[in-house]
Structure formats: C-alpha cells, structure tokens
C-alpha cells in the first residue's frame, strides 16, 4: 500500500538548536516530493519540490534532501517563527498530480 510516514510527530527545540524532520515513503513510481509548512488555522504553504534522489533545495534556515526511500527537512539554527507543522506529500498520480500526504511534524521552537 502506498504510504507516507513522517517522524517525529512532534519536536521541541531550543532557538538555535538544529535538527531534522523525516519523511519516508513506500510509493512506487515516485514523480516528486513536496514539503509544506502549515500554521494553525491556515492552509499549507508550499516550501520545496524534489524530483530525484540526491536533489537538495534550500530556503533560509531550511534545507530539503531526497533519497530513494525518504526525505529530510533540515532546520539550521531555528527561530521561534519557524514553529509550525511541516507536511510532506508524495506525487504519484501522473498528469492529474494526485498527492499522498503524511500526517506532519509539529515543530515548536522555544526562545
């Protein structure tokens, strides 16, 4: 069964304490992997797209990487404003762009 699993479910960091979030998947024929950030009461906000193993993307304190079985979202020296739920989604649906989402990692960064 196609599945996307994110870990940990929740993570609490001190400001400046770097860490990584994991997204593992068991989807055949991966076409792409997406990372989103979601703040409470809002819709997911797009962060990155990764298409092939070995690819990396960076934006400010965030860096996303992809292997054949998983993706990591590395957060370097986080700030309290990085607190949010981070979602990953796998694209498997061909031209219709259907996504399978993980349940997210709730990140709290304390000052």
Among 24, 63, 74, 101, binds other proteins (CB under 8 A): 101
- Report in angstroms how near the CB of residue 12 gets to other proteins at its nearest: 19
- Report in angstroms how near the CB of residue 111 gets to other proteins at its nearest: 27
Among 19, 22, 27, 99, binds other proteins (CB under 8 A): 99
- State yes or no: residue 111 binds other proteins (CB under 8 A): no
- State yes or no: residue 103 binds other proteins (CB under 8 A): yes
The strand order across the sheet containing 70-75 reads: 4-7, 19-25, 70-75, 62-66, 56-59
**Residues of this chain, 42-71, that bind other proteins according to CB under 8 A:** 42-46, 49
Spatial contact of 46 and 101, defined as CB atoms under 8 Å apart:
no
């Amino acid at each position: 069964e196609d599945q996307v699993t994110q870990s940990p479910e929740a993570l609490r960091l001190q400001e400046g304490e770097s860490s990584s979030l994991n997204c593992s998947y068991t989807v055949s024929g991966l076409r792409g992997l997406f990372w989103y950030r979601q703040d409470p009461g809002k819709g997911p906000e797009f962060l990155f797209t990764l298409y092939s193993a070995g690819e990396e993307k960076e934006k400010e304190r965030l860096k996303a990487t992809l292997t054949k079985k998983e993706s990591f979202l590395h957060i370097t020296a986080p700030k309290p404003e990085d607190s949010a739920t981070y979602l990953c989604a796998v694209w498997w649906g061909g031209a219709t762009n259907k996504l399978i989402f993980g349940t997210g990692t709730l990140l709290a960064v304390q000052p």
